[in-house]
Amino acid sequence: MITPNFPQAFSLTGEVVLITGGGTGLGLAMARAMHSAGARVVLLGRREPELQAAVEKLGTGASYVVHDVTDVDAAPALVQRVTAEAGPVSCLVNNAGIHLKKPAVDTTSAEFEQVMRTHVFGAHALTRAVVPSMMQRRHGSILFTGSMASLFGIPLVIAYTAAKSAMVGMVRGYATEFSPHGVRVNAIAPGWIETEMSRQALSGDPARKSKIISRTSMARLGATDDIGWAAVYLTSPAAKFVTGVILPIDGGASIGF
């Protein structure tokens, strides 16, 4: 195999990337970076105004489809629609998720199931829908948005922790099945990233922010483009021999003390 030069190694030109939860936050950050790297990006989400605004900012080569990932039976038709409008999906980013902050003993089975259905069942349904075509073409990449909650214990988020921990197993299981057929599977595990949501959450809780900074070796929050460019790397030719990896982008939080 001829090794591509530097620009080509990180280029996503010709790739069609489907990003769930792509209208805001880390999903949009990944969309921006991957679009900048040359990919055609299709954003999925439940809120059309946010998706529309995101696509307008991204410009040519970006589009959206309103879709709820928990509607697992609709996944095959959704992928067929995206394929017809944008081309065969060559990269799926399973990013959509919901959060639940609640003591474990107060978390109901229904609440637990709702979190799992979004993160795990929704991701599996879309993965099943896109992988056969990727295998047929022997070209594809699946990327998951993981969490620090899958690397160490965090209180008050038991359902979220279970869902993100399940994703770690899914990445490794999928990778062993799909990689021999040309489809790589990886995950990014973001640390504490500065987003509008995190700013709101931490502005009224200085003790929590101090705790986060104190256990992060780089002593600061990350930026959304830190996640975006990591997504570009993991889905680009530069990572052509990388599969089954959970990559922390966390400023050292997962290894610090």
- Number of CB atoms found within 10 A of residue 64's CB: 23
Bridge partner list, 135: none
C-alpha neighbours within 13 Å on the C-beta side of residue 241: 2
Q: Which residues contact 31 (CB under 8 A, 6 or more apart)?
A: 17, 19, 22, 41, 43, 54, 58, 62, 228
Distance from C-alpha of 52 to C-alpha of 75, rounded to nearest angstrom: 21
Residue (of 1, 39, 4, 3) closest to 22 by Cα position: 39
Catalytic residues: 160
Contact 162, 223 (CB under 8 A): no
